[in-house]
């Protein structure tokens, strides 16, 4: 078989997060070194401006022009690469043609979607083609859901070493986080709220903790879900709902399902934000829970949704400043408990703001992992999760090159 000219193409290189990713890849791999990568997007002029901003002359960083709706152009792009990273979102609006073409042409793919309803649609529509062609498709390779998915994977590895068995219950708590969000993320959130408001069946599907697990997978265990303020005795603090749990918990459950229930058939998982102790913690938890509910209600109703989009949320292409990205960080705590009551605590941290500085580094390393570490791995085509596709290989890359830490906390 002929070797394509590129190892990896970044589709959507001119997006807010794509620009950060492109800079990161240039720093990590150079522009025309042994790792052959290229940038792609719908606008030749914007791609050239991005390349110029990196101080690279024409020809030093190849450019591919393709519109997300132009299947023929996407097919040409896929013919020229082994891996595509996509940051073109909202994925539910623009993402399907590329997933379809990757699945049909055997091109490996990873992205940043957190749109669970879209992921479900893609698995149903394109998994047979991906299995046949050998394309490995990995959604959710950013802050949602790499730290959660790999955090649970890491905890379960250590639990098996220590206790000889996995933890049947794991809680993830966000201890601290600093970061903003971009127009692209805002547009994706608003689009999910819009679709869900108009479709009761979709609301039911979104509420199903196993909604993206393989068909027929339905363990008889009720999943915990933090939907309001409450006290968590395991952490000695008040907790509030965590907005990303809606996607992260689904990915973690899919990882368990794809790994033949390696976390247990009764595995339970939830996520929440730690808000502190005493009256101060309680007030903060209640305030955050109420604010989140207000945001969801505002997003569900057309007039308030319009006001949110118009006056509150950032526009596409906008996002946190370079200074805010640099000052951002996150600190996630995991508590695992085995069926016989033994516990294990794990901490996962990242530098830079979670949604952009850190997300770009995670996505870049996920793409590099597909192109460099897993090319000959023999892993078959299909829709994977970060933990089941990358596991230890990505943890090593993230710790070495992306500012993440994974550690066991001793009591």
Ligand X SMILES: NC(=O)c1ccc[n+]([C@@H]2O[C@H](COP(=O)([O-])OP(=O)(O)OC[C@H]3O[C@@H](n4cnc5c(N)ncnc54)[C@H](OP(=O)(O)O)[C@@H]3O)[C@@H](O)[C@H]2O)c1
Q: Which residues bind ligand X (CB under 6 A)?
A: 12, 14-18, 41-43, 46, 67-69, 87-91, 94, 112, 114, 142-144, 182-185, 188, 316-317, 319, 355, 359
Beta carbon of residue 354, minimum distance to ligand X (angstroms, whole number): 7
Beta carbon of residue 67, minimum distance to ligand X (angstroms, whole number): 4
**CB closer to ligand X out of 144 and 169:** 144
CA–CA dist 174, 271 (Å, integer): 8
CA–CA dist 4, 77 (Å, integer): 10
**Parallel, antiparallel, or unpaired for β 382-384 and 136-138?**
parallel
- 388-to-118, 246, 297 alpha-carbon distances in Å: 20, 19, 35
**CB closer to ligand X out of 237 and 398:** 398
**CB closer to ligand X out of 83 and 285:** 83
**CB closer to ligand X out of 166 and 320:** 320
**CB closer to ligand X out of 105 and 145:** 145
Strand partners, 138: 110, 384
- Give yes or no for a cis peptide into 288 (omega within 30° of 0): no
CA–CA dist 23, 155 (Å, integer): 32
**How many Å separate Cα 134 from the centre of its chain?**
22
**CB closer to ligand X out of 156 and 185:** 185
Q: Identify which of 343, 342, 341, 361 has the alpha carbon closest to the alpha carbon of residue 351.
A: 361
223: left (phi over 0), alpha (psi -120 to 50) or beta: beta
Beta carbon of residue 395, minimum distance to ligand X (angstroms, whole number): 18
341 CB-near residues (< 8 Å, 6+ apart): none
**Parallel, antiparallel, or unpaired for β 268-276 and 169-178?**
parallel
Beta carbon of residue 182, minimum distance to ligand X (angstroms, whole number): 3
22 CB-near residues (< 8 Å, 6+ apart): 10, 13, 39, 50, 54
**CB closer to ligand X out of 169 and 353:** 353
Q: Give the helix ranges, DSSP H, for 16-70.
A: 16-29, 44-53
Q: Tokens 């949110």 correspond to what residue?
A: 308
**CB closer to ligand X out of 319 and 336:** 319
Residue 225: both structure tokens together: 């879900």
């Amino acid at each position: 078989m002929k070797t394509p000219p590129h190892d990896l193409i970044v589709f959507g290189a001119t997006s807010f997060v794509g620009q950060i990713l492109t800079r990161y890849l240039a720093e990590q791999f150079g522009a025309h070194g042994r790792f052959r990568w290229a940038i792609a997007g719908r606008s030749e002029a914007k791609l050239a401006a991005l390349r110029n901003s990196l101080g690279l002359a024409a020809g030093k960083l190849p450019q591919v022009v393709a519109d997300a709706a132009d299947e023929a152009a996407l097919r040409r792009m896929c013919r020229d690469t082994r891996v595509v990273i996509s940051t073109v979102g909202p994925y539910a609006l623009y993402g399907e043609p590329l997933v379809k073409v990757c699945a049909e042409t055997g091109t490996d793919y990873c992205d940043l979607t957190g749109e669970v309803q879209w992921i479900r649609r893609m698995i149903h529509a394109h998994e047979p083609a991906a299995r046949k062609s050998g394309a490995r498709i990995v959604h959710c390779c950013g802050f949602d859901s790499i730290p959660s998915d790999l955090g649970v994977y890491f905890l379960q590895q250590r639990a098996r070493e220590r206790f000889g068995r996995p933890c049947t219950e794991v809680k993830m708590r966000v201890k601290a986080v600093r970061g903003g969000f971009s127009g692209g993320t805002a547009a994706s959130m608003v689009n999910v709220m819009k679709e869900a408001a108009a479709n009761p069946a979709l609301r039911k599907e979104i509420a199903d903790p196993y909604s993206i697990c393989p068909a027929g997978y339905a363990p008889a265990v009720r999943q915990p879900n933090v939907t309001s303020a409450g006290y968590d005795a395991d952490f000695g603090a008040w907790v509030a709902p965590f907005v990303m749990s809606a996607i992260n918990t689904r990915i973690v459950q899919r990882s368990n399902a794809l790994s033949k229930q390696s976390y247990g058939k009764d595995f339970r998982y939830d996520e929440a934000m730690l808000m502190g102790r005493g009256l101060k913690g309680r007030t903060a938890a209640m305030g955050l829970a109420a604010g989140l509910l207000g945001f969801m209600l505002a997003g569900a109703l057309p007039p308030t949704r319009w006001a949110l989009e118009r006056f509150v949320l950032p526009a596409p292409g906008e996002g946190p400043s370079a200074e805010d990205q640099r000052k951002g960080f996150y600190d996630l705590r995991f508590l695992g408990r085995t069926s016989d009551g033994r516990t294990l605590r794990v901490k996962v941290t990242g530098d830079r703001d979670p949604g952009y500085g850190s997300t770009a580094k995670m996505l870049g390393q996920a793409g590099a992992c597909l192109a460099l570490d897993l090319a000959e791995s023999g892993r078959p085509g299909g829709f994977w999760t970060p933990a089941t596709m990358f596991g230890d290989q990505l943890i090593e890359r993230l710790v070495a090159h992306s500012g993440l830490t994974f550690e066991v906390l001793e009591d």
